[in-house]
Amino acid sequence: KAGVTQTPRYLIKTRGQQVTLSCSPISGHRSVSWYQQTPGQGLQFLFEYFSETQRNKGNFPGRFSGRQFSNSRSEMNVSTLELGDSALYLCASSSPILRDGASYEQYFGPGTRLTVT
C-alpha cells in the first residue's frame, strides 16, 4: 500500500501570497489531519477532516483553511502569508476500521516545507 503523499515537498513564497498544499491519504483511510511544525512551537494541530467534514480545528487564525474531497484527498490553504508561517506542514491519515471510539495511530506523510520570505 502506498503511504501518505504530500505535494509539493518544498515551497518558497513571499509575504502576502497564498499557498495550497495537498495531501493524499493511504487508500481506504477517511480521516486526514494537518499539523504545523516549527522550532519554536513544535507540533501544533491545525485541523482534521473525516468524510469531507471538518471534525476538529486547532487554534490558528482564519488565514488557515482546509477541505477534503470525496476521494479523501485533502488540501490546506494559507492566505496572506506571514514570515511566521514558515514551517514543516505534516499531513496524517488514519483508518476507521476497528474503531471503538478511541483515536488510532496516525500515518504521516513526509511533509511540505514552506519558506516565506
Minimal distance, residue 4 CB to other proteins, in Å: 8
Pick 67 or 108: Cβ nearer other proteins: 108
Provide the minimum distance between the beta carbon of 34 and other proteins in the complex, in angstroms, as a whole number.
11
The sign of the CA dihedral 102, 28, 65, 23 is positive
Three cell numbers written together for 6: 504530500
- Burial letters 33-54, b for 16+ CB under 10 A, else e: bbbbeeeeeeeeebbbbbeeee
**Residues in touch with other proteins (CB under 8 A):** 4, 31, 33, 35, 41-45, 48, 50, 55-56, 58, 88, 90, 92, 94, 101-111, 113
Give the nearer residue to other proteins in terms of CB position, either 41 or 80.
41
What distance in Å separates the CA atoms of residue 31 and residue 13, rounded to the nearest whole number? 28
d(CA 23, CA 67): 10
Cell of 33: 489531519
**65 versus 88: smaller Cβ distance to other proteins:** 88
Least spacing, CB of residue 16 vs other proteins, in Å:
26
Q: Rank residues 79 and 106 by Cβ distance to other proteins and give the closer one.
A: 106
Least Å from the CB of residue 42 to other proteins: 5
